[in-house]
Amino acid sequence: MSGKKLLLAGLLFNMYWSIAVLGQQAYVWVLVLLVVVCWWKFPKGIKAALSIALVGVVMDLTLSVVDILAFDSIIIPSWLIMLWLGFGTFVWFMRSTIVSYPVMLIGILGGIGGSMSYFAGYRLEAVQWPLGVGITLSVLFVIWLMFSLVIALMMKRNEPHYS
């Protein structure tokens, strides 16, 4: 992926993230529209996006059940499910970049980036952290490190299938 495409993909995902976290329920329809248009244009990404999103939703649901994360809704909110679908699609777009780096580097960057994304959501009051910042950040870093390692390993092993 060229530098310009990489920058564009990152900017677009950050806009998507912002719509999800800042708009929450009010803009779920925008998130759905964006994912549907993206999948219509790039249908090969659907399988990977759904797989990543499913794991992410289960991960957040588990974190919610064990009171590491708390949302205003009883279960995880629809905007967060859409955020996971967008993230899964973004990862599919980034697959050639992801497989070009060492798995451990992807894991560490994913651990930092994932936990910082949740921290930003916490600061924007999209999620509460009942256990406090220190414990929650530590748990999120470890979970995102492992999650990122699994994604990177799966992509490296199945690179032709993700194309």
User: Are the C-beta atoms of residues 76 and 121 closer than 8 Å to each other?
Assistant: no
How much is the pLDDT for 145? 97
Query: Which residues on adjacent β-strands are paired with residue 53?
Result: none
What's the sign of the alpha-carbon dihedral 51, 103, 13, 144?
A: positive
Q: How confident is the model at residue 159 (pLDDT cuts 50, 70, 90)?
A: low
Of residues 104, 110, 98, 106, the one with CA closest to residue 143 = 110
What are 54's two structure tokens? 């499913």
Who contacts 133 (Cβ-Cβ below 8 Å, separation ≥6)? 119, 122
pLDDT of residue 160: 56
Over 60: is that where the pLDDT of 96 sits?
A: yes
Q: Which helix (H) or strand (E) holds 131?
A: none
Question: Rounded to whole angstroms, how far apart are CA atoms 105 and 98?
Answer: 10
| pLDDT tens digits, one per residue of 18-64 | 999 999 889 999 999 999 999 999 999 899 999 999 999 999 999 99
Q: What is the pLDDT of residues 99-156, one digit of tens each?
A: 888 999 999 999 999 999 999 999 999 999 999 999 999 999 999 999 999 999 988 8
For the question of whether the overall pTM of this predicted structure is more than 0.85, the answer is: yes
The two tokens of residue 52 are: 């990543």
CA–CA gap between residue 67 and residue 116 (Å, rounded)? 19
**DSSP states of 36-78 as a string?**
HHHHHH-GGGHHHHHHHHHHHHHHHHHHHHTTSSB-SSSS--H
